[in-house]
Structure 1
Amino acid sequence: MGQSYARRNSPAFNPGSQPAAREQLVTREDAQQGYARAMKLGDTEALAGNRIEAERHYQQAEHCLRSLHRRAA
């Protein structure tokens, strides 16, 4: 009983804390690569005339940029 109780109450198994735990796993390099990739995909879609897909990629790039700034603070 003790082991399953500890596992159930650890942060990894607490749905409310999973987003915070996931953020800790993303490194600065991951966020930088994600930003560059999303911007490149956005530019490619914009050149192809797919405005909606381009905007989706640009929004993802903004998310990566916010992650970079949050880590720098």
Structure 2
Amino acid sequence: MPLVVLAIGGATTYFLVMAQAVRNQELIERQFNAQVEQTVEDVRRRIIGYEFGLRGARGAITAVGLLIHQHN
């Protein structure tokens, strides 16, 4: 009888540990994916900021070029 109780307890513990391991892995994957999405969004925002900056610089250079051309 004690061996049966030990076997049932061991099997129950094993299955509970395995179930927790699966839940932990799913949590890790969800957190990783959320972090990747956040990083991608941050990079996208930075690129858009640089794009606007470059467009502004191009406009300023074009305006200066037009002023110089008109002045000559």
Query: Common fold, TM-score beyond 0.5?
Result: no
The TM-score with structure 2 as length reference comes to 0.33
The TM-score with structure 1 as length reference comes to 0.33
> Higher relative CO (CA 8 A, sep ≥ 6), structure 1 or 2?
1
Larger radius of gyration: 2
